[in-house]
């Protein structure tokens, strides 16, 4: 197991180098003056230009620039935002909010997947099953911003059940609606996994044995069928945790949730590209790290995975 | 150990002669994977729904004037800002006083061009990368797969955000397609690689090498054509996702310029007035969703039809 962990961590090194290099390359090897590009539509202020040129070492050859930039990333120095705040500080303040939102969304996704997948699998081919497959497909095709606007309009404006935006109040209750919307647009994968493994489990010998012993469905369904079908759903939820950590930009922007994604959203809208690059780097690294953890979790949960 | 022993189990004698079991009746209908899939799809109403939507969107993209005579950008009157439907303008007006219906129709062209370009670029990079890695294995595989891993490790939407942010001067359909496909190809490459790995050990591949065809010719002539099934399905679905990505980038203001008709742009402009004029937001959202749904549904149905196990379960 330890060897597997070390191996997986070693594999992450080239990925880490590659992703940081690609992001750097995308910005600084593009035609035109990268510093001007970093300012977007704004007119650069000479003082800020000097700061950025120093930060990215633009007077040196490209690879030296990259190595120095990598050193900054590794030592946790991601520069400052346009308003002059330290990127790390902003990240530290906003990350707990994003984490809260994503955790809630993943838990809701898991519950939806398990409950709907279980019922669908038990009633394969019946009305509920067919309907739930179609509904999941429609929800899955709904672009997240469309889903959020629908929620804002109906839940927030028309029926007045919840606030239209989140704003400063980042309690669990205030962020429930956006978390639910995220969960609804992504639960289809988990639901299918659950449904598939329930259908498979129902025809397994151990289930037939359990029925033959005289157990009732009330015990067989939760203990024999559901429990054995959970592993793929758990790992799928863990994977969507990673994807969401890096993918709440639009949700947080629309619902005005003061998280990492919203910081990125505001920077994009205002054309503050240096901030965009810093936050995309952070989110990508987080995504890589969470994915490693997911792989390890998978190995722990499923003994059939060989640790080679 | 218990004392009782089960009686020795003897399988019942099979009366069928071997020749019957293995025989092929010549009168049977001709069949292969795609014919089976087509027979299956023909009986599914959702397939026709998806197909009709895709065709209508394609028509609107190619000849928007078939559907509307109103120019999407001209004749906008601020007096009509967020106005309701009137004769000749069935879906009302945007905040700038432009005709919503006409903008929605013209938006199809942008969405579909971005979607198709993304699919083309994804296929152009992803298929060779995956096929070479899977077929030649060894060092080639290690190198190509590591490169793929790196691209796979950056969420493609974040990568597209960086590219489009930096390219503030050159935001057009082509750059946006490259920004999306430049990172989305990695997942296609993985699928192609897995499929090629499965196929390269089959007998007909060995036979092709045995009769003297070169490795590369075998790959192109036999392995690739037989591994295209999952590729077609994935690409159909990714066409839908690319349309969403374009709309999302335009929504963030780093997609296409505001003079270009794009559903994402219209959604972005209408979101400010969600309270007072929700319909201007609703229509482009609806058309975007239906188009994306049609492509994803088409992909899913074809995948289902091509999968004999899924067919048998129904």
Q: Tell me, what's the ipTM?
A: 0.84
Contacts of B274 in chain A (CB under 8 A): 149, 152-153, 157
- Residue A27 confidence class, pLDDT cut points 50, 70, 90: confident
User: In 3-state terms, what secondary structure has residue B25?
Assistant: coil
Chain A to chain B Cβ contacts (< 8 Å): 135
The residues facing A80 across adjacent strands are: A86
Beta strands of B133-224 (E only): which ranges?
none
Nearest by CB to residue B289, choosing from A34, A143, A265, is A143
Residues B220-246: pLDDT tens digits? Answer: 888 888 888 889 888 988 999 999 999
Q: How far apart are CA B6 and CA A182, in angstroms?
A: 56
State whether A268 and B252 contact (CB < 8 Å): yes
Is pLDDT at A83 greater than 90 in this prediction?
A: no
HEC sequence for chain A: CHHHHHHHHHHHHHHHHHHHHHHHHHHHCCCCCHHHHHCCCCCCCHHHHHHHHHHHCCCCCHHHHHHHHHHHHHCCCCCECCCCCEHHHHHHHHHHHHHHHHHHHHHHHHHHHHHHHHHHHHCCCCHHHHHHHHHHHHHHHCCHHHHHHHHHHHHHHHCCCCCCCCCCCCCCCCCHHHHHHHHHHHHHHHHHHHHHHHHHHHCCHHHHHHHHCCCCHHHHHHHHHHHHHHHHHHHHHHHHHHHHHCCCHHHHHHCCCCCHHHHHHHHHHHCCHHHHHHHHHHHHHHHHHHHHHHHHHHHHHCCCCCCC
B23 CA to chain A: closest CA distance, Å?
31
Specify the pLDDT at position A108. 96
Domains of chain A by residue range: 92-259
Cβ pair A38, A52 in contact under 8 A: yes
Residues B130-168: pLDDT tens digits? Answer: 999 999 988 999 899 889 988 988 888 888 988 888 887
User: Exposure pattern of B218-253 as b/e (b: 16+ CB <10 Å)?
Assistant: bbeebbbebbebebebbbbbbbbbbbbbbbbbbbbb
The mean of the pLDDT values for chain A is 84
- Lowest mean pLDDT segment, chosen from A45-49, A66-70, B172-176: A45-49
For residue A75 the two structure tokens come to 């030592």
State whether B313 and A125 contact (CB < 8 Å): yes
Cβ contacts of A219-225, under 8 Å, gap ≥ 24? A221/A118, A221/A122, A225/A118, A225/A121, A225/A122, A225/A198, A225/A201
Specify the pLDDT at position A41. 63
Is pLDDT at A104 greater than 60 in this prediction?
A: yes
The angle at the Cα of B237, spanning B236 to B240, to the nearest 5 degrees, equals 100
Average pLDDT for A177-185: 93
The mean of the pLDDT values for chain B is 83
B28 CA to chain A: closest CA distance, Å?
29
Chain A window 165-224: which residues touch B at a Cβ cutoff of 8 Å?
Answer: 199
Interface test with B, best of A21, A33, A145 (most B CBs within 10 A): A145
User: In 3-state terms, what secondary structure has residue B20?
Assistant: helix
Cβ pair A280, A261 in contact under 8 A: no
Q: Between B121 and A30, where is the model more confident?
A: B121
B267 CA to chain A: closest CA distance, Å?
9
B99 CA to chain A: closest CA distance, Å?
21
State whether B293 and A23 contact (CB < 8 Å): no
State whether B274 and A142 contact (CB < 8 Å): no
Q: How far apart are CA A211 and CA A220, in angstroms?
A: 8
Specify the pLDDT at position A110. 95
Contacts of A37 in chain B (CB under 8 A): 166-168
- Nearest Cα neighbor of B94 from B111, B73, B109 is B73
Q: How far apart are CA A256 and CA A122, in angstroms?
A: 40
Closest-CA residue of B relative to A292 is B153
- Nearest Cα neighbor of B179 from B278, B227, B248 is B248
- Lowest mean pLDDT segment, chosen from A73-87, A136-150, A236-250, B94-108: A73-87
Contacts of A265 in chain B (CB under 8 A): 252
Average pLDDT for B26-52: 82
Nearest by CB to residue A27, choosing from B162, B168, B267, is B162
Closest-CA residue of A relative to B244 is A143
Tell me B270's DSSP state.
H
Beta-carbon-side half-sphere exposure of residue A116 (alpha carbons within 13 Å): 25
A26 CA to chain B: closest CA distance, Å?
6
Task: Give the list of residues 6+ apart from residue B121 with CB closer than 8 angstroms, or none.
Answer: B177, B178, B181, B182, B185
Contacts of B151 in chain A (CB under 8 A): 22
- Residue A308 confidence class, pLDDT cut points 50, 70, 90: very low
Q: B140 at the A interface (CB within 8 A)? A: no
Average pLDDT for B72-89: 70
Q: How far apart are CA A97 and CA A105, in angstroms?
A: 12
Q: A250 at the B interface (CB within 8 A)? A: yes
Chain B window 158-217: which residues touch A at a Cβ cutoff of 8 Å?
Answer: 158-159, 161-163, 165-169
- CA dist list (Å): B276 to A144, A155, A158, A255, B271: 22, 16, 11, 18, 10
Chain A window 260-289: which residues touch B at a Cβ cutoff of 8 Å?
Answer: 264-265, 268-269, 271, 273, 276-277, 280, 283-284, 287-288
- Nearest Cα neighbor of B152 from A297, A113, A3, A243 is A243
Q: How far apart are CA A165 and CA A177, in angstroms?
A: 10
Beta-carbon-side half-sphere exposure of residue B181 (alpha carbons within 13 Å): 25
Interface test with A, best of B49, B158, B170, B301 (most A CBs within 10 A): B158
Specify the pLDDT at position B1. 44
0.80 surpassed by pTM: yes
- Residue A13 confidence class, pLDDT cut points 50, 70, 90: confident
Specify the pLDDT at position B3. 52
Is pLDDT at A30 greater than 70 in this prediction?
A: no
State whether B155 and A284 contact (CB < 8 Å): yes
Specify the pLDDT at position B20. 62
Query: What would the CATH number be for the domain defined by A92-259?
Result: 1.10.3720.10
């Amino acid at each position: 197991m330890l060897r597997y962990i070390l191996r997986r961590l070693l594999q992450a090194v080239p990925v880490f180098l590659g992703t940081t290099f690609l992001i750097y390359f995308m910005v600084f090897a593009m035609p035109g003056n990268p510093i001007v590009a970093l300012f977007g539509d704004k007119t650069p202020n000479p003082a800020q230009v000097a700061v950025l040129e120093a930060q990215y070492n633009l007077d040196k050859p490209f690879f030296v620039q990259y190595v120095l930039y990598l050193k900054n990333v590794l030592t946790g120095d991601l520069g400052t935002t346009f308003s002059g705040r330290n990127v790390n500080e902003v990240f530290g303040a906003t990350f707990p909010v994003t984490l809260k939102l994503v955790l809630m969304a993943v838990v809701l996704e898991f519950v939806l997947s398990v409950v709907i997948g279980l019922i669908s699998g038990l009633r394969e081919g019946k009305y509920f099953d067919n309907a739930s497959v179609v509904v999941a497909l429609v929800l899955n095709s709904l672009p997240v911003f469309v889903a959020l606007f629908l929620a804002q309009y109906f839940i927030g404006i028309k029926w007045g059940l919840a606030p239209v935006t989140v704003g400063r109040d980042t309690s669990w209750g205030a962020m429930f609606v956006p978390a639910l919307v995220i969960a609804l647009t992504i639960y289809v994968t988990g639901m299918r996994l659950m449904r598939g493994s329930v259908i498979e489990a129902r025809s397994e010998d151990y289930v037939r044995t359990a029925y033959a012993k005289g157990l009732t469905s009330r015990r067989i369904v939760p203990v024999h069928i559901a429990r054995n079908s959970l592993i793929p759903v758990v790992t799928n939820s863990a994977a969507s945790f990673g994807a969401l950590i890096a993918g709440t930009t639009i949700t947080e922007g629309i619902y005005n949730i003061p998280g990492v994604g919203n910081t990125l959203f505001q920077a994009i809208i205002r054309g503050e590209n240096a901030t965009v690059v810093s936050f995309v780097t952070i989110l990508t690294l987080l995504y890589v790290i969470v994915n490693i953890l997911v792989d390890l979790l998978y190995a722990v949960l499923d003994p059939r995975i060989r640790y080679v | 150990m218990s004392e009782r022993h089960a009686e020795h189990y003897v399988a019942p004698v099979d009366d069928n002669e071997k020749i019957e079991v293995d025989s092929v009746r010549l009168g049977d209908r001709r069949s292969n994977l795609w014919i089976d899939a087509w027979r299956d799809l023909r009986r599914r109403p959702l397939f026709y729904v998806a197909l009709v939507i895709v065709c209508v969107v394609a028509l609107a993209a190619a000849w928007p004037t078939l559907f509307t005579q109103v120019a999407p950008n001209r004749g906008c009157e601020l007096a009509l800002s967020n106005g309701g439907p009137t004769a000749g303008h069935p879906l009302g007006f945007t905040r700038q006083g432009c005709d919503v219906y006409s903008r929605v129709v013209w938006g199809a062209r942008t969405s579909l061009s971005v979607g198709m370009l993304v699919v083309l670029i994804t296929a152009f990079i992803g298929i060779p990368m995956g096929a070479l890695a899977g077929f030649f294995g060894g060092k080639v595989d290690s190198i190509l797969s590591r490169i793929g891993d790196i691209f796979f490790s950056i969420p493609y939407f974040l990568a597209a955000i960086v590219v489009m942010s930096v390219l503030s001067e050159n935001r057009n359909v082509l750059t946006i397609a490259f920004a999306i496909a430049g990172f989305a190809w990695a997942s296609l490459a993985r699928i192609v690689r897995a499929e090629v790995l499965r196929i390269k050990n089959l007998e007909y591949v060995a036979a092709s090498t045995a009769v003297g065809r070169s490795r590369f010719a075998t790959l192109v002539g036999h392995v690739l054509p037989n591994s295209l099934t999952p590729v077609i399905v994935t690409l159909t679905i990714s066409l839908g996702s690319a349309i969403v990505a374009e709309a999302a980038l335009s929504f963030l203001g780093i997609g296409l310029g505001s003079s270009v008709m794009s559903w994402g742009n219209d959604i972005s402009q209408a979101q400010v007035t969600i309270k007072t004029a929700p319909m201007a937001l609703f229509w482009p959202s609806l058309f975007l969703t239906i188009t994306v749904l049609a492509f994803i549904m088409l992909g899913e149905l074809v995948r289902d039809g091509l999968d004999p196990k899924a067919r048998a379960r129904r």
